[in-house]
Copies of this chain bind each other. A is one copy, B any other.
Amino acid sequence: MKTHILVTNDDGVTAPGLLALAEAVRGLPDVKVSILAPDRNWSGGGHVKTLERPLRVREVTLADGSSAYTSDGAPSDCVALALLGFFEEKIDLVVSGINPMPNLGHDVTYSGTVTAAMEAVIWDTPGIAFSLGSVDNHLGALDYTAAAKVAETVVTRALQHKFGPGMLLNVNIPYLPHEELNGIRITRQGLRVYRDRLDKRVDPRGKPYYWIGGDSPTGTAEEGTDVGALINGYVSITPIQLDLTMYSAIPTIGDWGW
């Protein structure tokens, strides 16, 4: 039986990164690919479960002429729809991306790309998130060739080796030509340095409004981390778990004199 791969993303079904990822996995042997992705950009939208309104799904044709489905839900809703039975055949793997900007460090809880893979894991299905380490969000103008080639390798390895329940892979690929990539590093989550600033403005009617502004996040380029790998030209693969317990703190807090 063919391996049924769901492709989704958080930039919307028409994003070129999604098409690049779909084409990469379609080339693998014995694979059937289905696409169900949001009808708009959900970047920074977090892990959403839409329960208070119903979701619509419609069929669309992508730029390469292939067929895809799109929904008015979040990336994680698209995954839930697919895994709860929108497609007749069971989904064996969920891949999400390719996001134009990296998802590193604490980004993993905000990122629609990563939370789509989280949703897969919650439903006991392996999930892999792919992001490109571009520095500017030029949707459409980016070259996804190298990232798609990396995605093909990572999905091939993941299907060969399987991977355990409760874990997803967060893959970040430097924005470089394929021959300039230094290799692959299995990393831990690094530290993002957010540089958001509150930007207070006054509207034409004299009332204040607030932008979460400031500069793009940077990161601490520590050895062994996703941030460090990317800065040094390596593809970063971080195994991410859904158990967020800080085990080391359990005895400490137990001694707080309850």
**Is the Cβ of B241 less than 8 Å from the Cβ of A244?**
yes
Extra inter-chain contacts (12) besides given A43-B51, A44-B51, A167-B246, CB under 8 Å: A45-B46, A46-B46, A54-B201, A77-B212, A80-B196, A80-B212, A81-B210, A84-B196, A109-B244, A122-B194, A161-B253, A239-B253
Looking at the assembled complex, report how far the CB atom of A81 sits from the nearest CB atom of chain B, in whole angstroms: 6
Q: How far is the CA of A157 from the CA of B189 in the complex (A)?
A: 30
Question: For this complex, into which size category does the number of interface residues on chain A fall?
Answer: 35 or more
**Is the Cβ of A249 less than 8 Å from the Cβ of B239?**
yes
**Is the Cβ of B122 less than 8 Å from the Cβ of A118?**
no
Q: How far is the CA of A212 from the CA of B48 in the complex (A)?
A: 12
Q: Which secondary structure characterizes the binding site on chain A?
A: mixed
**Is the Cβ of B253 less than 8 Å from the Cβ of A163?**
yes
Contact pattern, A 2-46, Cβ under 8 Å of B = 1, otherwise 0: 000000000000000000000000000000000000000101111
Of the listed stretches A60-68, A92-100, A140-148, A180-188, chain B binds A180-188
Q: How far is the CA of A110 from the CA of B106 in the complex (A)?
A: 15
Q: How far is the CA of A157 from the CA of B256 in the complex (A)?
A: 7
**Is the Cβ of B258 less than 8 Å from the Cβ of A184?**
yes
Residue from B55, B109, B245, B257 within 8 A of A118 (CB atoms): B109
12 contacts between A and B (CB under 8 A): A43-B51, A48-B110, A55-B209, A57-B210, A81-B212, A84-B212, A109-B118, A157-B258, A160-B256, A163-B253, A188-B243, A189-B244
Chain copies in the assembly? 2
A115 on interface, CB distance cutoff 8 Å: yes
A240 on interface, CB distance cutoff 8 Å: yes
Q: How far is the CA of A8 from the CA of B2 in the complex (A)?
A: 48
Looking at the assembled complex, report how far the CB atom of A78 sits from the nearest CB atom of chain B, in whole angstroms: 11
Q: How far is the CA of A138 from the CA of B45 in the complex (A)?
A: 27
A206 on interface, CB distance cutoff 8 Å: no
In the complex, chain B residues whose CB is within 8 Å of the CB of A189: 243-245
